[in-house]
Structure 1
Amino acid sequence: METLKKDVTRGGQFLVKETRAEDVFTPEDFTEEQKMMLESVREFVDREVWPHKEQFEKKDYALTEEIMRKAGELGLLGIAVPEEYDGLGMDFVTTMLVCDYISGATGSLATAFGAHTGIGTMPITLYGSEEQKKKYVPKLATGEWFGAYCLTEPGAGSDANSGKTKAVLTEDGKHYLISGQKMWISNAGFANLFIVFARIEDDKNITGFIVENDPENGITLGDEEKKLGIHSSSTRQVFFNETKVPVENMLSERGNGFKIAMNALNVGRIKLAAACLDAQRRVITEAVKYANERIQFKTPIAQFGAIKLKLAEMATSAYIDESAAYRAAKDIEDRIAARKAEGKSHSEAELKGVEEYAIECSILKVAVSEDCQNTTDEGIQIFGGMGFSADTPMESAWRDARISRIYEGTNEINRMLSVGMLIKKAMKGHVDLLGPAMAVKDELMGIPSFDTPDYSELFTEEKEMIGKLKKVFLMVAGAGVQKYGPQLEEHQQLLLAAADILIEIYMAESGILRTEKNAKRFGEESQKEQIAMAKLYLYNAVEKINTSAKEGIAAISEGDEQRMMLMGLKRFTKYTNLPNAIELRNIIAEKVTAENKYCF
């Protein structure tokens, strides 16, 4: 297979291994089939969803259900489902692409789609027995049935394994009786099937069950929740009162529920990042159109430097987010293909493929959800007073974006997870952090080079800077591990600072590699604005990393050691040729205002 010929980097290895531009996948690499899929999804959304944007703010749950059924008729709910279960059996990148473009118009549909195709369907596809798959997956793949995922409880949010819902085996051994309360259940109002997590006896870990929704079987729903955003997404509590579930509806093995939940969340995290991409594109396009039309002091506000700054930063974050999301998606796809080539089943290959890149999934979830929130916030600001009005699309976009920082594990949890998982990988020998960290320590003790490198080639200095930023992470995280050892996870603020460094490295590198690859094949002039965005993002990343690293260094060192690390930080974050951020922003802003849309 051609995809396996490239130099595949394992999850987390981006930190210690240089990735070549030709080895990353970019949206410019979409196949003709993927481009056709993109256009059909965008056409579906423009026809069925965008014109009804106002209706989604009126808690029209029936509208969401109706559009989900139409999506099912088009096969969009079964993109990731194997063909033998009535799905389309598409590759991982295509599943990302569909999730991306179906989610941009409204958070209500994005939530319903994500909850159904991801955590509502995938646990059965990946963990179900053959009988369970044949019985339930075709109905879910076609939209005949809708799924929901019952994990969260009033006392068990981020600590998912602490749930109190009980499953008791009946005397005849044929059923489990499930009793408990689940909350924040997306799609609950129209779900035919629930993936429910409950504890059997005093098991250490919870167990997963497939539960058909039958009100006469001890299942009752709470009222629709009153929420800040995603108004037409059905969100209700679900109560189980000795609900009878056949023993054959246990999902996977007893006590395997926590593992199922965590792996479902890994997939959910990268898909959530995808779901925030077109939301950003649409907000940027609306903001550009308004800025071009809005005249103040006899000038379109798009011509003012303060607005150019906003448009450029918004476009840059969208471009970088897209670069990183599809880079990781293709890495996962290649890992899945490698597993299948080894003879693994579809479900086992997909599970291991996504699990391999769990660090990148957490990074993307955090970065893209926060960029999406910032983009909608700046969208309101560009609209000014009109942006605060519910008559413009910015207000609902801002409210809908807010939940993405909470979904699939809060951003705080995901920040700490990304660093924690990386350290665990290092301890297992999957990523060599110790060698590079010791090398950085030796470098700090040595005399720095004062040679001026040749920066005549595109991105030579930027790629050197990325390498130095990786040293910053190794320096801070290495010192943290050395000082606290296994107790490092108790120092959450230090982990958060380290995570921010890690996130900015991955995102900045993704943008540079995408742009370098495209500049080589399409010519630098055709990538003028993309080059500006890659450079601008890195410039911003250096500033953020500087701040986070100083915080970390102050927390873990003092005296001579601290002075040495601060000198190292200064060395590792110093440009030879400081970018002109204002000029870069103007290049980007002038392109989007000329095109009157997000155009990359």
Structure 2
Amino acid sequence: MATNGKIIGGSFIIDELDASRVATPEDFSEEQRMIGDTTRDFIEGEVLPNDEHIEKLDYELTVKLMRKAGELGLLGADVPEAFGGLGLDKISSTLINETLAKASSFALSIGAHVGIGTLPIVFFGTTEQKDNYLPKLATGELIAAYCLTEPTSGSDALGAKTTARLSDDGQHYILNGSKLYITNAGFADVFIVYAKVNGTDFSAFIVEKGTPGFTLGPEEKKMGIKGSSTRPLFFEDAHVPARNLLGEVGKGHLIAFNILNIGRFKLAAGCVGAGKEAIELSSRYANTRQQFNSPIAKFPLIGKKLAEMNIMTYVMESMVYRTAGLFDEALQHLDYTAPDAGTQSAKAIAEYALECSINKVFASEALSFIADEGVQIHGGYGFIQEYKIERIYRDSRINRIFEGTNEINRLLIPGTLVKKALKGELPLLQKVQALQRELLSIVPVQTFDGVLAEEVHLLAMAKNIFLMVGGIAVQKYQMALEKEQEVLANLADIMIQVFASESALLRTRKLIAKSGEAKAANAIDMTQAFIRESFAIVEARAREALSTMETGDTLRTQLSVLKKLTRMNPFDTVAVKRRIAARVIQGEKYIV
């Protein structure tokens, strides 16, 4: 569904999209590939040789390397040219983010700086604030941190206890309270801090290091990402200049939640890069590790793991760049110097909040699976710190907590969709009603002709299943639906699988149109295997949700309808995954 050529957020669940509208890695321009190469050269030439020191939390080294990244333009990709940055498209900044992932903790330090640290000023700062901070943030002269979480408020961000009071002379806001788990805290110069003005109005502030009354606590001892700084902050009558209020009093939620949306998307991009590295490490190891007089790569169960790791990475990558393309379209005409730039930004980012949550949940869980399988392929060596797969495994765990837990994001996904429908932005309820009339008729036996034809059908049926189950949920619970978290989570999982399947399918169809079926053979195999297994997840989640909502004859009738929608021809996934595995093992890397 598109309005004035723009794709409406969440419309994927009710509409078909032309493959030509989807951004994919195969569309990278020469300039974008050069940016990726520059990032890769910097990581391999400057960061990885210092990896051991970074992991020991060497502040000075991290800041030095961040400034080198700034000299190369890697910190200024999302900063407009008018304020000293490169003002690159979102595909380019996403590629930088993905490529940085190989730098482990250092990638997190940069990610927190360029994303949730700098973007609040890019999108919501005044012209004066942008002029003052952005040129220095783009070069790394200043390092940024984002400060939202508190000891008593994590997912419930609006439950923050930190307060701000305007001084009697109107020159300062006086902050009191604390923040917890702040990335880059140990060496940051600029902190985006959220506090409630007069204890009620949630607002954002730019706080500089050295502000009287502002102090740091000790470094946290963490399970992973050990080379990144994570410290608490304390404010005791900290006087912040009134001009450093970011946005409007009481409108901090617009900044916090929209920046979190971007953070979720950028986190998913990092998961893509980590997934690729895990495949490379694991396939190389599998080719060299001998057991029973044979490389373990020749064992089908090891090949199956590598194939599934490759499939999940392909799907992740397809989702991430599809979403980057959506943001490019939404933000390409934004005037960052305009007085209403913040309002424009909030609207553009919020449009795809649902897709950002989907990316975050799927990618963080996919990487957890990939890292776990990577350790398993390495066997006992995977448990030893000398092998990097051990660190990838530890570091990946935080992704399911960062930027809003996956549980919270699962609640947001269907909740956001329903809100868009109630606002009239999506004809969701009309689609539900039309489907309910259609389901009364008998679904004819389907025949499929051509590559991926059945996958197209299965995707359409998955969307119908969501509309069926979602329609029943809304009718049964109405406004109380938000309390039925298990049902919402099942609906979210169906939406996640639909977006994931469609992203892979559209990318593969675009690849076939460009290069032909022969060159797209691996992509076709991965898409077929993923959609079949994804469809089984959709059926299972729908069955569980229906069984939660109904009983007796009503439930039996609904399950009968579900059975009609889930007819699927037998498919040999073993043979397909063996073909994928052979390609990965031969290339010793992620293979499209």
Instruction: Give the structure-1-normalised TM-score.
Output: 0.95
1:152 is paired with a residue whose SS is: coil
1:346, distance to aligned residue in structure 2 (A): 5.7
- Residues 295-315 of structure 1 deviation map (CA, whole Å, 9 limit, x = unaligned): 111111111110011000000
2:537 — aligned with what?
544
1:80 — aligned with what?
78
1:56, distance to aligned residue in structure 2 (A): 3.7
Tell me if 1:321 matches 2:316. Answer: yes
For structure 2, the 5+ residue unaligned runs are none
1:533 to 526, 531, 534: 526
1:170 — aligned with what?
167
Query: CA separation in 2, counterparts of 1:159 and 1:286?
Result: 38
- Residues 359-405 of structure 1 deviation map (CA, whole Å, 9 limit, x = unaligned): 10000000001111111110000000000001100111111111111
> Does the 8 A contact of 1:77 with 1:140 survive in 2?
yes
1:353 is paired with a residue whose SS is: helix
Q: Which moved more, 1:300-309 or 1:540-549?
A: 540-549
Q: How does 1:153-192 map to 2 (within 5 A)?
A: 153-192=150-189
Query: CA separation in 2, counterparts of 1:210 and 1:284?
Result: 41
1:41, distance to aligned residue in structure 2 (A): 0.7
Paired letter, 1:599: I
2:385 is paired with a residue whose SS is: coil
2:482 to 455, 473, 489: 489
1:554 — aligned with what?
547
* Distance change in 2, residues 1:101/1:350 (3 Å): farther
1:443 — aligned with what?
438
Query: CA separation in 1, counterparts of 2:169 and 2:148?
Result: 27
1:345, distance to aligned residue in structure 2 (A): 6.5
2:235 is paired with a residue whose SS is: strand
Cα RMSD for the two superposed structures: 1.8
1:45 — aligned with what?
43
* Distance change in 2, residues 1:346/1:198 (3 Å): closer
1:537 is paired with a residue whose SS is: helix
Q: Which moved more, 1:428-437 or 1:278-287?
A: 428-437
1:594 — aligned with what?
586
2:141 — aligned with what?
144
> Does the 8 A contact of 1:179 with 1:242 survive in 2?
yes
Tell me if 1:132 matches 2:123. Answer: no
1:419 — aligned with what?
414
Instruction: Give the structure-2-normalised TM-score.
Output: 0.97
* Distance change in 2, residues 1:344/1:353 (3 Å): farther
1:336, distance to aligned residue in structure 2 (A): 2.1
- Residues 78-110 of structure 1 deviation map (CA, whole Å, 9 limit, x = unaligned): 10000111100111111111111112331x122
Q: Which moved more, 1:147-156 or 1:350-359?
A: 350-359
Paired letter, 1:554: S
Paired letter, 2:151: P
> Does the 8 A contact of 1:57 with 1:396 survive in 2?
no
Query: CA separation in 2, counterparts of 1:340 and 1:464?
Result: 42
Query: CA separation in 2, counterparts of 1:74 and 1:192?
Result: 21
Paired letter, 1:546: E
Paired letter, 2:191: F
Paired letter, 2:55: E
1:9, distance to aligned residue in structure 2 (A): 2.4
2:215 to 201, 220, 226: 220
Query: CA separation in 1, counterparts of 2:545 and 2:537?
Result: 12
Tell me if 1:383 matches 2:383. Answer: no
Query: CA separation in 1, counterparts of 2:6 and 2:509?
Result: 18
Tell me if 1:360 matches 2:355. Answer: yes
2:192 is paired with a residue whose SS is: strand
1:509 — aligned with what?
502
* Distance change in 2, residues 1:136/1:7 (3 Å): closer
Query: CA separation in 2, counterparts of 1:74 and 1:438?
Result: 54
- Residues 285-341 of structure 1 deviation map (CA, whole Å, 9 limit, x = unaligned): 000000011111111111111001100000000011000110111012112236669
* Distance change in 2, residues 1:6/1:391 (3 Å): farther
> Does the 8 A contact of 2:121 with 2:130 survive in 1?
yes
2:573 to 578, 581, 590: 581
Q: How does 1:4-43 map to 2 (within 5 A)?
A: 8-43=6-41
Aligned residues: 590
1:57, distance to aligned residue in structure 2 (A): 3.4
2:7 is paired with a residue whose SS is: coil
**Identity level (%):** 44
> Does the 8 A contact of 2:255 with 2:346 survive in 1?
no
Paired letter, 1:572: L
> Does the 8 A contact of 1:321 with 1:368 survive in 2?
yes
* Distance change in 2, residues 1:97/1:6 (3 Å): farther
* Distance change in 2, residues 1:338/1:440 (3 Å): farther
1:230 — aligned with what?
225
2:134 is paired with a residue whose SS is: helix
1:128, distance to aligned residue in structure 2 (A): 0.9
Paired letter, 1:177: I
Paired letter, 2:279: I
> Does the 8 A contact of 1:333 with 1:353 survive in 2?
no
Query: CA separation in 1, counterparts of 2:467 and 2:50?
Result: 49
Paired letter, 1:67: L
Paired letter, 1:290: Y
1:188 is paired with a residue whose SS is: coil
> Does the 8 A contact of 1:199 with 1:206 survive in 2?
yes
1:157, distance to aligned residue in structure 2 (A): 0.7
> Does the 8 A contact of 2:161 with 2:199 survive in 1?
no
Paired letter, 2:421: A
- Residues 491-517 of structure 1 deviation map (CA, whole Å, 9 limit, x = unaligned): 111111110011001001100110111
1:266 — aligned with what?
261
Tell me if 1:122 matches 2:137. Answer: no
* Distance change in 2, residues 1:370/1:513 (3 Å): same
1:206 is paired with a residue whose SS is: strand
1:241 is paired with a residue whose SS is: strand
Tell me if 1:284 matches 2:279. Answer: yes
Query: CA separation in 1, counterparts of 2:101 and 2:345?
Result: 23
Paired letter, 1:516: R
1:237 is paired with a residue whose SS is: strand
> Does the 8 A contact of 2:307 with 2:581 survive in 1?
yes
1:523 — aligned with what?
516
Query: CA separation in 2, counterparts of 1:386 and 1:195?
Result: 41
